[in-house]
Amino acid sequence: MAGDAAAQTADARNAVPHLGRAIRARRRALDLTLKDLGLRSGLSVGFLSQLERDLATPSLSALSGIAGALGVPLDAFLAAPRPASGLTRRGERPVFAIGDAPPDRIRYERLSTAFPGQALNAVLVHVPPGYASEAVQHEGEEIAFVLEGSLLVGIGDESIRLDAGDSLHYPAGRAHRWSNAHDGWTRVLWTGTAPIFDRLRDES
């Protein structure tokens, strides 16, 4: 079950303490307003304000966009595990979360590694019932493939329901968001070209 992996890693919190404060400190150090950060990251000022006051938890995609907008690697805010190679095994991947998320919050398993020239990132996403993400937009494209449960994907003003076995390929430059109105956990294979994780540079 999707919830099993999340329950087994309830203490896998990989973000820096007081994530919102850390983001605010970096923003102020760059002399940026919330509006500036919103324009750079593709996130609303309202959401960023809540985040900086530790009243909201960003999705992995949103946190990556914030890090890029602030000119720091994702590792500045989240110690996301990196597989040693492109091969990962079921039951052996570390499950991680963002911030002080309780056990019933969204969890991730990283599938992709990093190597020079890498363009794809992939994660298994364990989405709890009632979850609704913030709207985000960024470079690249994404594919969401539902393995278990159901997911509502909002693309602009359109809402698309995906059930187990369904997939959706969409441009990430359009505002998009996820929610789980299902009464159980939903498990999604996410693949995208956005630089969610840090990439290795070509040495040539």
Tell me the domain boundaries of the chain. 1-204
Instruction: With beta carbons less than 8 A apart as the criterion, state whether 186 and 202 touch.
Output: no
Residue by residue, pLDDT tens for the chain (204 residues) are 444 444 344 334 455 668 899 999 999 999 999 999 999 998 999 999 999 998 888 888 899 889 989 999 888 888 778 888 899 999 999 888 887 655 568 899 999 998 888 899 999 999 999 999 999 888 889 999 999 999 999 999 999 999 999 999 999 989 999 999 889 999 999 999 988 886 544 333
* DSSP state for residue 11 in the 8-state scheme: T
Return the SS3 of 5.
helix
161, β-bridge pairs: 152
Spatial separation of the C-alpha atoms in residues 171 and 142, rounded to whole Å: 6
Instruction: At 157, list the tokens.
Output: 């003003």
DSSP 177-197: EEE--SSS-EEEEEEESS--S
Q: What per-residue confidence (pLDDT) applies to 178? A: 95
Cite the DSSP H helix spans in the chain: 2-8, 19-29, 34-41, 45-52, 60-69
Instruction: At 30, list the tokens.
Output: 């760059």
Spatial separation of the C-alpha atoms in residues 144 and 11, rounded to whole Å: 26
- What is the CATH T-level fold of the domain 1-204, as seen in this structure? Jelly Rolls (2.60.120)
Q: What per-residue confidence (pLDDT) applies to 204? A: 33
Spatial separation of the C-alpha atoms in residues 26 and 191, rounded to whole Å: 29
Intra-chain end-to-end CA distance of the chain, in Å: 44
- CA dihedral of residues 167, 10, 138, 44 (deg, nearest 10): 120
Q: What per-residue confidence (pLDDT) applies to 8? A: 41
Which residue, among 199, 155, 203, has the nearest Cα to 179 in the 3D structure?
Answer: 155
Other CB atoms within 10 A of residue 193 CB = 15
Spatial separation of the C-alpha atoms in residues 164 and 145, rounded to whole Å: 8
Is the pTM above the cut of 0.75?
yes
Spatial separation of the C-alpha atoms in residues 177 and 168, rounded to whole Å: 13
